Amino acid sequence: MKLIIGGLLLLGVVSGSAGFMFMHGNGQAATNFRTAPLERGNLMAVIAATGVVQAENVIDVGAQNQIPCKIVSFGPDLLRNPKKTIDFRSPVTKGMVLAKLDDAVYGSQLEQAQAEVDQAKANVQRADADLLQMQAKLVQCDREMYRVKRLMGSKGVVSDLDFDIVQANFETARATLTVGKAAQVQAQKALAKMEAALRQAEINLSYCTIRATEDGVIIDRRVNVGQTVVSSLNAPSLFLIATDIKRLEVWAAVNEADIGNITWGQKVRFTVDAYPTEPFEGTVTEIRLNAQMTQNVVTYPVVVSVDNSNGKLLPYMTANLQFQVGQRDDAMLAPNGALRWRPQLPQVHPDVREDYARSLKPAPAGGKAGAPEKDRQVWGRVWLQDGEFVRPIKVRVGLTDGSLTEVSAPELSEGAELIVGVHQAAGADGTVNPFAPQMIQRPKTK
């Protein structure tokens, strides 16, 4: 009986040990590494940004009238359909009539200025006639003075009283001539002033006819017939003309962290929502200094010139740009995840574990951890599996496109499996989900 009881106890211990080993041994998740191959290929490093398509040269046509005037009519669309009036997308040439304003006020001012000019001309003519009359009077007085002086030697012919009268008449005629000359000059100046006022009235009247200042295409008509416009401190905008719709610009906002990689003449590729699968190309022509801050993010405006000979691009389209920073052909390319991944300390091979632990320590005050700053900018680290552990490989880092990065190292060759992460595997049954409920098997009872 004792032998039977002892055997049953021994069997229970063995069964319990086996069950414990089954539950805590086979069920324990083993670490498996996820890898990606090191490939060879071409790489294009770019900087992404967004922008807006704009006309290269835009002219804002406004009104210069100082008196409120309403728009009477628009000019005829001569280049497309003369029976219709100027409207959106109408091609125009320099001097073409775009609109006419009510010119009743300026027309009356012109008539008044013309009348004043005519009056001033009449005053000048009268001053000229008066001056001629005064000159003739002076000549007559001068001759009388000459005769009197000749007769002064004969006694009883010319008395002193007659001589005084003749001399006074001569001096009066000479002074009157001087006054007449001054009156003539004043009349001429008054005429010049009235003629200037007439020219001003003509200019004001010409402002009632809005004309195109350059050849181009109307991209915006901002007024309607019957609308009243007046120029005060700022001239009202009536039309917006793009001088050359075949040459456009993209105004891009580039982050301050990337602006150092933008240069004049740099190639740019972009797409617009209207043609999402068709790439367009441009060239950087300007890097502006008027930075803008939005939600603590500083961006710089960059102007990209684009050839729009096919006419597909339209002003104000949203563009998704890629500035080409550099290109590498036939380069060794590693996934960015391989450069970012860091193992746990127990996963590192014992030969290099101590060095890796030191690299994880924070830098002392006033110092730097690990490699110098300039080395950290061009050097990186990837990991290869070495049995149950991982071993680091120091690589020189080159260009990146956001998903792949150019790397080089003597220890690496094409096809090398770089570790990008880990996953927990449950033996041959699959992956263990730590959040799934665990089934506990209870012994059957008789």
**What's the pLDDT at 217?**
92
**What's the pLDDT at 444?**
45
Q: What is the mean pLDDT of residues 280-290?
A: 95
Tens digit of pLDDT for each residue in 14-42?
444 444 343 444 444 456 889 999 999 99
The class of domain 65-100+209-242 in CATH terms is mainly beta
**What's the pLDDT at 239?**
93
153 versus 406: the higher-pLDDT residue is: 406
- Evaluate if residue 253 carries a pLDDT over 90: yes
**% pLDDT > 70, the chain:** 82
Provide the CA 358 distance to its chain's centre, in angstroms: 49
**What's the pLDDT at 30?**
53
Domain limits of the chain? 45-54+246-329, 65-100+209-242, 105-206
26 versus 323: the higher-pLDDT residue is: 323
Q: Where residue 202 falls among pLDDT bands split at 50, 70, 90? A: very high
Task: Write down the CATH superfamily of domain 105-206.
Answer: Helix Hairpins (1.10.287.620)
- The two tokens of residue 292 are 């803008």
**What's the pLDDT at 31?**
64
- Evaluate if residue 129 carries a pLDDT over 50: yes
Please choose, from the candidates 391, 399, 403, the residue with its C-alpha nearest in 3D space to the C-alpha of residue 353.
Answer: 391
In angstroms, rounded to a whole number, what is the distance separating the alpha carbons of residues 313 and 306?
9
Q: What is the mean pLDDT of residues 426-443?
A: 47
**What's the pLDDT at 150?**
78
What is the CATH T-level fold of the domain 45-54+246-329, as seen in this structure? Answer: Elongation Factor Tu (Ef-tu); domain 3 (2.40.30)
In angstroms, rounded to a whole number, what is the distance separating the alpha carbons of residues 217 and 211?
13
Q: What is the mean pLDDT of residues 382-407?
A: 90
**What's the pLDDT at 20?**
39
**What's the pLDDT at 360?**
79
Examine domains 65-100+209-242 and 105-206 and report if their fold is the same. Answer: no
Question: What backbone torsions phi and psi does residue 346 show, to the nearest 5 degrees?
Answer: -65, -20
- Please report where in the chains the tokens 């002074």 appear, as a residue: 175
Sign of the Cα pseudo-torsion (358, 360, 362, 363, in order) = positive
Q: Where residue 197 falls among pLDDT bands split at 50, 70, 90? A: very high
**What's the pLDDT at 373?**
39
Lowest-confidence range among 25-39, 243-257, 289-303, 377-391?
25-39
Q: Where residue 425 falls among pLDDT bands split at 50, 70, 90? A: low
